[in-house]
Amino acid sequence: MSLAVLQGVRKTYRMGEEDVHALAGIDLTFEQNEFTAILGPSGSGKSTLMHILGFMDVPTSGRILFEGEDVSALSSDRRAWYRSHRVGFIFQSFNLLPRLTVLENATLPLLYREDFPDDASREAAAKKALDRVGMSHRLTHRPTELSGGERQRVAIARALVGRPALILADEPTGNLDSRNVDRILELLGELNREGIAILLVTHDLGVAAHARRIITMRDGRIQEDKQT
């Protein structure tokens, strides 16, 4: 069974008196355990595609199957369930809460998970995820005390903590120096080999080259889809 299947997916936004076609009929299949990069310039539709796959937005038309279930027109509550149980998110700006510790930031996705009912279960899962990304020695530190590379490792642990089927990474190396870029991409590759599908959105061909599949978008359409 494929992880996600998109059939004729369109997304149109109303900007003043004009319709903007962010996605213009997308047909794509993402397999389990795949490492895919979505490459394209600003305005190409890659972020819109990621938002729809991450249950943060819904298509204007078309059909989406996720793990075999039709998720094209879910209620907001059901979309929230998928976001918290099946998808992890990594952002360019890290999106860590500055007043919380590393450990507290990593527990956030579990706060409304019924299978992590108390502080002890959430902290145990967060410590395991932080250990996996090499940040177990920084549990009580706050984001302002960390380097950029360390902040992104915490963000990856936060994405990983809920045992997702898919991690969506939106320009995850955009604020990092070259040494940390390589380390973060290596870590994403390791997580992929451990069984998590990775969808990496980037405008950088060098970053995209770390994926096993590169999809190039332009003007809301698929321009190229190739294996590396």
Say if residues 129 and 160 touch (Cβ distance below 8 Å): yes
Domain residue extents for the chain: 33-59+75-227
| Residues 163-188: b if buried by 16+ CB within 10 A, e if exposed | ebbbbbbbbbbebbeeebbebbbebb
Considering only CA atoms, which of 47, 37, 44, 48 is closest in space to residue 10?
A: 48
Query: pLDDT tens digits for 37-55?
Result: 999 999 999 999 999 999 9
pLDDT digits (tens, 9 = 90+) for 89-99: 999 899 999 99
What single-letter amino acid sits at 28? L
Q: How far is CA 211 from CA 37, 44, 82, 205, 226, in A?
A: 6, 19, 24, 10, 11
User: Which residues touch 82 (CB under 8 Å, ≥6 apart)?
Assistant: 55, 66, 71, 74
CATH code, 33-59+75-227: 3.40.50.300
Given a cut of 90, whether residue 119 has pLDDT beyond it is: yes
* Tens digits of residue pLDDT in 4-35: 999 999 999 988 888 989 999 999 999 999 99
Q: Which residue has the tokens 């700006």?
A: 93
Chain centroid to Cα 88, Å, comes to 5
| Assigned token pair, 145 | 């005390």
Query: Is residue 66 very low, low, confident or very high in pLDDT (cuts 50, 70, 90)?
Result: very high
Residue 4 main-chain phi, psi, to 5 deg: -145, 140
* pLDDT tens readout for residues 158-213: 999 999 999 999 999 988 888 899 999 999 999 999 999 999 999 999 999 999 99
Q: Confirm whether pTM is higher than 0.85.
A: yes
